[in-house]
Structure 1
Amino acid sequence: MKKLYFLLLAILMVSCNATMDTTSNETPETPKYTYLALGDSYTIGESVRETERWPVQLTEQLRNRNYEMAAPMIIAKTGWTTSDLLRGMDQNLEVQRDFDLVSILIGVNNQYQGKLITEYEEELRQIFRRAINHSKTLEKGVFAVSIPDYGYTPFGSSNQEKISAEIDRFNQVFKRVADEFGVVFYNITPISRNSSNPELVASDGLHPSALQYQLWVEQYISQVAEKLPN
C-alpha cells in the first residue's frame, strides 16, 4: 500500500515544463477572443501532446466555428491543489479584466493529498472571485469543469469505491460554489467513469487521453461558444 501511495504521489507531483503555456495551432494574426484556463494536470494535459490538451482542443473547435481565438493562456501544473493555483494566479495575472473566457478545473490533488474539504471550499471561492475579476463579462464568461474520477483508471482501480466517493464529495462542493457565483458547471465526470473503453485513458494509466478530452469538449462546446460576444 505504501509503495502504491508514493508511486501515485510521484506521478501526480511531476511538474510540467512551464506554469503558463500559450501553445496552439493556427493562431489568427489579429485574434478577437482570449481564453484563460486554470487548473492542474487535467488542464495542462499530463501525458498527452500539447495540441491534445482540452483547452487547446476547445480553442480549435471554437476557431472551426469562426471565432478568432488567441492561443489559450494556461495556468496549471501537475500536482497543483487550490492553494498552488492561487499562487500561480498571483504570479502570472494582472489585475484588470482581460479574458473573454475563463475556465476552472481544480480539486483532484486536494482530494488525493487528504486536504480538508472545508479548506478546498474556502480556497475555491477565492479562485472563483479572481476568475470572475479576470473575465470581461464577469461570471458570464466563466465556466467550471467537474473533477474526473481517476478511480476508474488502471492506476486507481484497486481503490475505486473510496476514490469515487471522495471525488463525488469534492464535486458537490465544486458545483455548489459555482452555483453561488452564478458560474455554469459542466459535469464531465460520467465520461471519466466509462471503464469499458481503455482508449479514454492516457498511456500513464492515470490521466485522460486525447480522446477523452475530445469528448469533454464536445459536451460543452456549444454552450461555451454562446458565452462569446458577437
Structure 2
Amino acid sequence: MFPTLIAASFAGCTKRSAGTGPNVVVPPPDTLPTLAKLNYLALGDSYTIGQSVAVDSRFPHQAVAILNSRGYRLNEPQYIAQTGWTTGALLNAIQTQNPTANFDVVSLLIGVNNQYQQRSQEEYRQQFSSCLQQAIRLAGNRKNRVFVLSIPDYSVTPFARNADTAKIAREIDEFNRINKEITLAAGIVYIDITPGSREGRTDASLIAGDGLHPSGKEYAKWAALLADAMAPVLR
C-alpha cells in the first residue's frame, strides 16, 4: 500500500551507516511524502444518509472510520442520497449534480422506495442498471472500485407492524434478485445485508428511534462488510 522510499543525496543531511558502505540518507520530516487521501462517493436513499441517526453512525462514515483505523487514508464520504429517492430520483440527481468521475470507491444502495411506492420491477431493472453504470463511471470506469449493497427488509420494523409483512419481505427479495443479477453480471462486488437486517425482528436495538430505519448498531454491521470488501482494492 505504501510506496517504497528511495534514498537520495541531500546536501547537509546525510548520516553514515555503521561500518563501511554508502551513506544512508534520512530526509528531514518536511521532505517525507504525504499520501493523498482517497475519495468515496455513497449513492442511495435514506439508508445511505442514515435517516434518524447521527452523521457518524451512517454506514459510509463508519466504513471510512474502520478503514482509516487500519492505516488507509480516506476523506469523509461524499453523498448523493436523500430520503424517499427511487432509482429514477437518484439518476436525476446524478445528472443534475454532475460530479467529476474521479472517485476512488463508490457504493450503491437503492430500491426500497421503488418497492414501497409499488413501482414496477421492470422499471427497477432498467433504472438500477443505469444507476450501476453511473456508479462505474463515477469510479473512473474501474468496476473493482464499485460496491453494491442489497435492499434491507423493513417488514421487521414497528413501522410495518400493521402492513402485510410477508408481502413486503417477498417483494424486497424480488427486487434484490434483480439488483443482484445485474450487479454480478457486470462483475461488481455484491454485499448482501438483507438477512442481517431481518435480525431487527427480535433485536430492537438494531432499529432507530423512528421505528423504521436502522440504528447505528445495524449500520455498523453493514460498514464492517463494506470495509472488508473495499480494503483489498485500496492496498
What is the RMSD computed on CA atoms of the aligned residues? 1.4
5+ residue gaps, structure 2, are 1-33
SS in 2 for 1:70: coil
Give per-residue Cα distances to partners, 1:15-54, cap 9 Å, x unaligned: xxxxxxxxxxxxxx97421101000000010000011110
Is the 8 Å Cα contact of residues 44 and 90 (structure 2) preserved in structure 1? Answer: yes
Q: Which residue of 1 aligns with 2:143?
A: 139
Amino acid at match of 1:189: T
Q: Which residue of 1 aligns with 2:205?
A: 199
Distance (Å, rounded) in 2 between the aligned partners of 1:77 and 1:221: 22
- 1:128 partnered with 2:171: no
Provide TM-score, normalisation by structure 1. 0.84
Bigger Cα displacement from structure 2, 183-192 vs 152-161: 152-161
Amino acid at match of 1:51: D
Is the 8 Å Cα contact of residues 44 and 85 (structure 2) preserved in structure 1? Answer: yes
Provide TM-score, normalisation by structure 2. 0.82
Amino acid at match of 2:205: E
Q: Which residue of 1 aligns with 2:156?
A: 152
Bigger Cα displacement from structure 2, 49-58 vs 135-144: 135-144
Q: Which residue of 2 aligns with 1:42?
A: 47
Give per-residue Cα distances to partners, 1:80-129, cap 9 Å, x unaligned: 000000011112233x5301100000000000001000000101111111
Distance (Å, rounded) in 1 between the aligned partners of 2:147 and 2:81: 16
Is the 8 Å Cα contact of residues 121 and 174 (structure 1) preserved in structure 2? Answer: yes
Is the 8 Å Cα contact of residues 101 and 227 (structure 1) preserved in structure 2? Answer: no
Distance (Å, rounded) in 1 between the aligned partners of 2:86 and 2:101: 24
Amino acid at match of 2:216: A
- 1:223 partnered with 2:232: no
SS in 2 for 1:88: helix
SS in 1 for 2:151: coil
Q: Which residue of 2 aligns with 1:71?
A: 76
Distance (Å, rounded) in 1 between the aligned partners of 2:141 and 2:216: 30
Distance (Å, rounded) in 2 between the aligned partners of 1:42 and 1:210: 11
| Identity, % of aligned positions | 42
Shift of the alpha carbon at 1:137? 5.6
Aligned length: 200
Shift of the alpha carbon at 1:186? 0.3
SS in 1 for 2:106: strand
Q: Which is greater in Rg?
A: 2
SS in 2 for 1:115: coil
Distance (Å, rounded) in 2 between the aligned partners of 1:191 and 1:32: 31
5+ residue gaps, structure 1, are 1-28
SS in 2 for 1:155: helix
